């Protein structure tokens, strides 16, 4: 357990005045070394880090409001059991899954099934990048490692390749339709790229100076064109077809340049 003594802002130079709050870490092992605790409290002076060893202990009141809950992946199977109590005690605190080895990413399906998980935090990032992800989540953003979507896309592709020949022919026809639907506008491509980086609609809207409603409309069109069911599938498609997407955009720009007088 570590404490901070000076009130301040969320992040150096952020200019945001926050009351004192708590980041709660939940792990039965020594997953959060003192150096990281020190780095968090140095970067965010208004934040204290509290460490507990199990989810039952996290489902309680603390001396300051909890603004973020970091849960070790070893407790993944227990989260649903304690979800209601965690939300009751800490209604404003996003629950984040902490992943220690990006080479063995958490299944995105497991995250989707839980629904309560708002982000996945890799522990093998460079410190400045890691703190930037913490800052993003403190400001209401979401973060998911690209490896999660790449693994998901690979599994989907593998299932498709195992189908019978007639079904593969139908899949090829569907792929042609998909290619036609995948002709995104520059703005749609820009928004899809930001969605694939794990950004929320309100963050995207602020970054592009659009209304959140306009972003939602663009996202609906993107999902429809890609033949996806939701933003997560759209992000997975982006990561699986990123190179071809960029190629299509460059070809479109080249065609426009050549057509200009």
What does 158-214 look like in DSSP terms, one character per residue? Answer: HHHHTS-HHHHHHHHHHHHHHHHHT---HHHHHHHHHHHTT--HHHHHHHHT--HHH
Is the separation of the CB atoms in 46 and 3 below 8 Å?
A: no
Please name the helix (run of DSSP H) or strand (run of DSSP E) that holds residue 22, with its range, or none: strand 21-26
pLDDT band, very low/low/confident/very high, at 77 (cuts 50, 70, 90) = confident
Tokens coding 203: 């963050």
Poorest-pLDDT segment among 113-122, 123-132, 200-209: 113-122
The structural domains of the chain, with segments of one domain joined by +, span: 21-144, 148-259
Q: What is the CATH number of domain 21-144?
A: 3.40.50.2300
Q: Which residues of 118-142 are buried (b: 16+ CB within 10 A; e: fewer)?
A: bbbbbbeeeeeebbebbbbbbeebb
Statement: residue 6 has pLDDT above 50: no
Q: Where are the alpha helices (DSSP H) in the chain?
A: 34-43, 55-58, 79-89, 108-114, 127-138, 146-161, 165-181, 186-196, 201-208, 212-226, 231-240, 242-259
Mean pLDDT of the region 211-216: 92
Query: Which residues share a beta bridge with 27?
Result: none
Is the separation of the CB atoms in 177 and 227 below 8 Å?
A: yes
CA separation, residue 22 to residues 42, 95, 230 (Å): 14, 13, 33
Is the separation of the CB atoms in 28 and 51 below 8 Å?
A: no
For residue range 98-127, list pLDDT tens digits in order.
987 655 567 777 777 778 888 899 888 899
Poorest-pLDDT segment among 47-61, 208-222, 230-244: 230-244
Statement: residue 16 has pLDDT above 50: no
Q: In the prediction, which pLDDT does 10 show? A: 46
Q: In the prediction, which pLDDT does 23 show? A: 96
For residue range 133-192, list pLDDT tens digits in order.
999 999 999 888 877 766 666 655 555 555 544 545 554 544 544 454 457 788 888 899
Statement: residue 237 has pLDDT above 90: no
Q: In the prediction, which pLDDT does 128 show? A: 92
Tokens coding 40: 């968090």
Strands 47-52, 66-72: pairing kind = unpaired
Would you say the CATH fold of 148-259 matches that of 21-144? yes
In whole angstroms, what is the distance from residue 71 CA to residue 24 CA? 8
- What is the pTM for the complete model shown? 0.55
Fold of 148-259: Rossmann fold (3.40.50)
């Amino acid at each position: 357990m570590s404490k901070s003594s000076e009130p301040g802002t969320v992040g150096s130079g952020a200019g945001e005045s926050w009351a004192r709050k708590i980041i709660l870490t939940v792990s039965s092992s020594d997953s959060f070394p003192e150096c990281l605790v020190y780095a968090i409290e140095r970067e965010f002076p208004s934040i204290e880090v509290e460490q507990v060893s199990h989810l039952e202990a996290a489902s309680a009141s603390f001396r300051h409001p909890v603004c973020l809950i970091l849960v070790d992946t070893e407790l993944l199977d227990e989260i649903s059991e304690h979800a209601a109590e965690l939300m009751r005690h800490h209604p404003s605190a996003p629950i984040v899954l902490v992943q220690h080895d990006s080479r063995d990413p958490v299944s995105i399906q497991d995250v989707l099934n839980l629904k309560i998980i708002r982000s996945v935090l890799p522990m093998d990032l460079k410190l400045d990048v890691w703190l930037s992800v913490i800052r993003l989540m403190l400001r209401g953003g979401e973060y998911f490692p690209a490896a999660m979507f790449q693994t998901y896309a690979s599994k989907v592709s593998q299932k498709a390749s195992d189908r019978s020949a007639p079904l593969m022919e139908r899949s090829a026809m569907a792929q042609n339709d998909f290619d036609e639907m995948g002709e995104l506008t520059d703005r749609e491509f820009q928004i899809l790229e930001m969605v694939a980086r794990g950004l929320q609609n309100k963050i995207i809207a602020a970054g592009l100076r659009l209304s959140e409603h306009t972003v939602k409309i663009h996202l609906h069109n993107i999902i429809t064109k890609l033949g996806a069911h939701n933003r997560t599938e759209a992000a997975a498609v982006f990561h699986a077809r990123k190179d071809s997407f960029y190629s299509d955009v460059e070809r479109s720009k080249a065609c426009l340049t050549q057509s200009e007088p």
